[in-house]
Amino acid sequence: MEINLFNDPNLAPQPRHKIKIESMRARPYADRFRVKVNLKLTPFQERPNLVITAHRSDGLQVSDLDVIATMHFENEYTLHIRGLDEPSGDFTLTAELYYELRDPPQDKREISFHIPAEES
């Protein structure tokens, strides 16, 4: 007899070697100095680590976040844009997933996002 503990077989926790970043999204808050990041991972048996960074189009790093042994496969974070008086412009958000060693990461995802100029 087979006992299925998960209604959706795609949500069954997977072994370490199958874990990847399934999707990532970035949306600036109205204050323009914070960015909401949604990150979805493959459901996992062993908790992975994440490094999330944001860079301005000229390469300047404006935010970073280290997540050690995340407990959830659907995550939401708020990144704070630092070191800029005016945050408008184009940015790249990078997420790296790893276990013991980050170099190289097990999976990496990169997306672009835009922070609009302040409305007058």
Q: Is residue 49 within 8 Å of residue 100, measured between CB atoms?
A: no
Q: Which two tokens stand for residue 89?
A: 């412009």
* CATH 3.40.50.1100 corresponds to the domain 9-115: no
Query: Which of 20, 13, 1, 25 lies closest to 93 in space, CA to CA?
Result: 25
Characterise 89 by phi-psi region: left (phi > 0), alpha (psi -120 to 50), beta (else): left
* Residue length of the chain: 120
| Rounded to 5°, angle at Cα 10 from 5 and 15 | 85
pLDDT over 70 at 5, yes or no: no
Digit-coded pLDDT (tens) for 60-91:
999 999 999 999 999 999 999 999 999 999 99
Distance CA 5, CA 95 (A): 30
Chain segment 12-27, per-residue pLDDT in tens: 999 999 999 999 999 9
Q: 90-118: per-residue pLDDT in tens?
A: 999 999 999 998 999 999 999 999 999 98
